[in-house]
Amino acid sequence: MSESAGLLDDLLAGKHRALARVITKIENRDPGYRELVSGLYEHTGNAEVIGITGSPGAGKSTLVDKLAEHYREQGETVGVVAIDPSSPYTGGAVLGDRIRMASNVGDMDVFFRSMSARGNLGGLSTATADAVKAMDAFGKDKVIIETVGAGQNEIDIVGAADTVTVLVPPGAGDNVQMLKAGILEIADIFVVNKADMDGADRTVQELTEMVHLGQGSTTVDAGHHGFDEVEMDLDMPTDTDPWKPPIVETVATDGEGVVDLVETFTEHRTFLEASGELTRRRRQRVAEEIRTLLRDDAAGLVEDELDDQGGVGTFVDGVMAGDTDPYTIADDVMGPIRDCIEEQ
């Protein structure tokens, strides 16, 4: 039996160590990780995947901890993937989310895994999605993804979730700004966490207006900073999609509002299933996955071909010497690959 076949069996048999190691292989993109993920696939699709994003310090991890505790009380098992940025200089990182997991001490049925961005922009969302698959195949009932809502990369990451939750802390007039980054469009549920703090009511009101207007933050913000020229790409199927992101208030530190939030998750789930949206989202994810894999493979082929033909340096020399240009080179290098494809 190959190493990955053994590992896969152990994971499916419920061995925590095997689940941990599979995720490591996925993260490291070890040789053989594809075989593993491919083997996981047929065992996935049963977990409910919840994404949690929001500005740094919004209370995501604290909330995840309380959610996990709640699910455990209901007898459900939980997996958590928490993503932290890494230093672009050293690649090192202190992965700080785990420290908030205080309510599920020693409970192996809450499987918490910290992941670092490892400076690889595109690949992280793939690795996250694959780690979620590993937890799903392992048999986790709920899988929660936590990531800092900082940019496109993070938006892609929570895209692996069925239900995307955006945490907005009260106060600091920057909240609306943060939402501009494109997170508004992907939010299924807004959570105003730290509802015990001043300004929570106002934030709820702002969000309510924003959701009510349904046209993105542009309208709300129009008079504010003149950001209104930003055109939102809203490809929401407006008439088949009656879902308006609800706004839930929570105090993650003492668990207030967690029951409400879980009920809201359930409502969203019901909506996803009844409207066919779940299938649509999953199809979209699979399509994206196929494309990503193919892009990676194609890029690999091109690199190999480039090496075969003497490496990029030689071609650069040619351009610098004025003998040729990058366009001609690209055509030439692609030639053999194109020929292979056209022959079929």
Partner 1 sequence: MSTDQSQRSIRCLVAKVGLDGHDRGAHVIARAFRDAGFEVIYSGLHKAPDEIVQAAVQEDVNVLGISILSGAHNTLVPKIVEGLKEYDAFDDTLILVGGVIPDDDKAELKELGVAEVFGPGTPMEETVEYVRENAPER
Q: Residue numbers of the site for ligand GTP (CB under 6 A)?
A: 54, 56-62, 96-97, 100, 148, 193-194, 196-197, 251-253
Beta carbons within 8 Å of 322's beta carbon, 6+ residues apart:
none
Nearer to partner 1, 61 or 163 (CB): 61
- Site for partner 1 contains 16 (CB under 8 A): yes
Q: How many CB atoms lie within 10 A of CB 191?
A: 29
Nearer to ligand GTP, 97 or 221 (CB): 97
Q: Please, what is the minimum distance in Å from the beta carbon of residue 147 to Mg ion?
A: 9
Q: Which x/- pattern over 51-70 shows residues binding Mg ion (rule: CB under 5 A)?
A: ---------xx---------
| Dist. CA 334–CA 340, nearest whole Å | 10
Are 47 and 136 spatial neighbours (Cβ–Cβ below 8 Å)?
yes
Beta carbons within 8 Å of 18's beta carbon, 6+ residues apart:
7, 8, 10, 11
- Residue 208: contacted member of partner 1, ligand GTP, Mg ion, none (CB under 5 to 8 Å, by partner type): none
- Site for partner 1 contains 299 (CB under 8 A): yes
| Dist. CA 48–CA 136, nearest whole Å | 8
Are 218 and 230 spatial neighbours (Cβ–Cβ below 8 Å)?
yes
- Site for partner 1 contains 27 (CB under 8 A): yes
Select the residue interacting with partner 1 from 4, 7, 25, 247 (CB under 8 A): 25
Q: Please, what is the minimum distance in Å from the beta carbon of residue 312 to ligand GTP?
A: 39
Are 144 and 127 spatial neighbours (Cβ–Cβ below 8 Å)?
no
Phi and psi for 229 in degrees, rounded to 5? -75, -10
Nearer to partner 1, 87 or 205 (CB): 87
Candidates 91-99, 165-173, 184-192, 220-228 — which segment interacts with partner 1 by CB under 8 A? 91-99
- Residue 318: contacted member of ligand GTP, partner 1, Mg ion, none (CB under 5 to 8 Å, by partner type): none
User: Distance from CA of residue 18 to its chain's centroid?
Assistant: 23
- Residue 338: contacted member of ligand GTP, Mg ion, partner 1, none (CB under 5 to 8 Å, by partner type): none
- Site for partner 1 contains 91 (CB under 8 A): yes
- Check residue 1 and report its DSSP letter: -
- Residue 325: contacted member of ligand GTP, partner 1, Mg ion, none (CB under 5 to 8 Å, by partner type): none
Nearest to 131 by CA among 147, 148, 119, 114: 114
Select the residue interacting with Mg ion from 27, 48, 69, 97 (CB under 5 A): 97
Q: How many CB atoms lie within 10 A of CB 143?
A: 26
Select the residue interacting with partner 1 from 173, 300, 310, 335 (CB under 8 A): 300
Beta carbons within 8 Å of 3's beta carbon, 6+ residues apart:
32
Q: How many CB atoms lie within 10 A of CB 69?
A: 18
Residue type, 167: L
Q: Which residues bind Mg ion (CB under 5 A)?
A: 60-61, 97
Q: Which residues bind partner 1 (CB under 8 A)?
A: 15-17, 20-21, 23-25, 27-31, 86-87, 90-96, 98-99, 105-108, 111-114, 116, 118, 120, 123, 296-297, 299-301, 303-304
